[in-house]
């Protein structure tokens, strides 16, 4: 598909994500599991949103619907002005590749590929030429502080390093929406802060919309808005922006 096919003509939607009465029922086991029970959510373009809530409340399911990885059982999901239900599977995967950076809870790196090759993959899928790919991969690994780990396979990397590879891969095609599922679970607080600082900078300076799932209030404090989920529903939404977290100036 030509680049920009999904870009809405005009000034672009001020709303990046819009869920209307989204339900998700998994039929995989013996009994149906209701993972989402009517979620309504608007996320503005350029927003930094955190999603919190107990294990099993539907956070990953919600992120998968927003990230075009899965479809709702009923309800509507619009991202960047595009109704995801109206897209074919092929168009959905192009949309995902071109517009969304997804950092999975367990990273989903390819074990047989090096860090550099993992980061390169979305660029190859997009048909970027080899020389440009190499330059971008170098830039991305440097951005996440892993330039000296380029030729390591995931099994030779720590959990935190694997996560940084996943973040570099998510950033590869300059997405306008980045989704992170419990992103700093494995990182020590220092490198966690560095990664959050990087994400916050992308949000602030490049207007990238960020949605992150976390169980850690210190991580959620980096966002401008936090919502709480429970039993497949959004139970608490807070209002306006919060003050920025206190950070050491020396960093
Ligand atoms: N692929 C699946 N098949 C069946 N049930 C699932 C699947 N994915 C998630 N669930 C169930 O849906 C509910 C919500 O899961 P999830 O979205 O992963 O929650 P969270 O990320 O908040 O821990 C849980 O009860 C979980 O067991
Ligand atoms: Mg989860």
Separation of 44 CA from ligand 1 center, angstroms? 26
Q: Element (H or E) spanning 90, and its range? A: helix 89-99
Q: What are the tens digits of pLDDT across the range 137-157?
A: 999 999 999 999 999 999 999
Separation of 59 CA from ligand 2 center, angstroms? 5
Do residues 176 and 80 make contact, with C-beta atoms less than 8 angstroms apart?
yes
Binned at pLDDT 50, 70 and 90, residue 238 comes out as: low
Inform me whether the pLDDT recorded for 20 exceeds 60: yes
Q: What are the tens digits of pLDDT across the range 162-216?
A: 989 999 999 999 999 999 998 666 555 556 688 888 899 999 998 999 999 998 8
**CA-proximal residue: ligand 1, atom 2 (nearest):** 26
The first and second tokens of residue 90, run together, are: 């092929």
pLDDT at 245 (0 to 100): 54
pLDDT at 241 (0 to 100): 46
Q: Does residue 55 have its Cβ closer than 6 Å to ligand 1?
A: yes
Distance linking the first and last C-alpha atoms of the chain? 43
Architecture of domain 15-109+160-237: 3-Layer(aba) Sandwich (3.40)
Separation of 114 CA from ligand 1 center, angstroms? 30
């Amino acid at each position: 598909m030509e680049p920009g096919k999904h870009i809405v003509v005009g000034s672009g939607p001020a709303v990046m994500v819009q869920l209307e009465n989204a339900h998700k029922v998994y039929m995989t086991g013996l009994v149906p599991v209701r993972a989402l029970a009517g979620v309504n959510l608007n996320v503005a373009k350029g927003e930094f949103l955190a999603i919190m809530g107990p294990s099993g409340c539907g956070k990953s399911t919600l992120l998968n619907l927003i990230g075009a990885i899965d479809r709702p059982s009923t309800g509507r999901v619009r991202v960047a002005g595009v109704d995801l239900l109206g897209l074919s599977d092929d168009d959905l995967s192009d949309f995902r590749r071109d517009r969304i950076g997804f950092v999975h809870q367990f990273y989903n790196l390819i074990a047989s590929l090096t860090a550099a090759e993992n980061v390169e993959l979305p660029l190859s899928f997009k048909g970027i030429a080899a020389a440009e790919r190499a330059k971008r991969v170098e830039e991305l690994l440097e951005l996440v502080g892993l330039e000296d780990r380029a030729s390591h396979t995931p099994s030779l990397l720590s959990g935190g390093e694997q996560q940084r590879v996943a973040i570099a891969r998510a950033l590869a095609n300059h997405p306008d929406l980045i989704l992170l599922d419990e992103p700093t679970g494995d990182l020590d607080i220092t490198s966690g802060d560095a990664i959050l600082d990087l994400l916050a900078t992308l949000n602030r300076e490049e207007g990238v919309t960020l949605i992150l799932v976390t169980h850690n209030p210190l991580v959620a404090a980096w966002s401008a808005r936090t919502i709480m989920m429970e039993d497949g529903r959004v139970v608490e939404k807070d209002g306006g922006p919060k003050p920025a977290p206190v950070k050491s100036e020396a960093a």
